[in-house]
Amino acid sequence: MKIKQTRDTLSDVYVQSLKIRNTVFVKEQQVPLSLEIDKDEAYAIHFVLLLDDPNETAVSTLRLLPSANGEQALIQRVATLKPYRGQGYAHDLMVHVLDFLQEQHFKLVELHAQMQAIPFYEKLGFEPFGEMFLDAGIQHVAMKKIV
């Protein structure tokens, strides 16, 4: 397994990320494409986890949106292709990104978790805060972690 990252929205890594997100969010969860791809794409760091197979199959992705002050970040668009779920790929990707945040001296990271994903993020040390809210018609809760 290897993890690649990019800020370049013309790169192969970004295209791989979009393919995963399109499959998971647009096709599976019926999120409108106009909500899935937004104005923050060019400001985010896009991470993709690739298998060690001959095709380097991209199976999991997320994007990281750093704040202007460089102390906080928002993890968004965490997605793993259905055949690869439950095998620890999203966990490995999240650990990699949390390590990256620590190395870059971020102090706080937040995310907006779908309700069924709360236990996954709690195991990574995230704590829910605030009220449940709808995003693209799906229930979410904000979660945070001190890095």
pLDDT of residue 70: 86
Give the domain extent around 48: 2-146
| Residue 131 clears pLDDT 90, i.e. is over it | yes
54: CB partners within 8 A, 6+ apart: none
pLDDT at 29: 94
Residue 139 carries which side chain, given as an amino acid letter?
Answer: Q
Give the count of domains, the chain.
Answer: 1
CATH number for the domain that contains residue 83: 3.40.630.30
pTM (predicted TM-score): 0.95
Q: Which of 84, 2, 16 is nearest to 46 (CA)?
A: 16
- Reported as a single tens digit per residue, the pLDDT across 68-123 is 888 999 999 999 999 999 999 999 999 999 999 999 999 999 999 999 999 999 99
User: How many other CB atoms sit within 10 Å of the CB of residue 52?
Assistant: 8
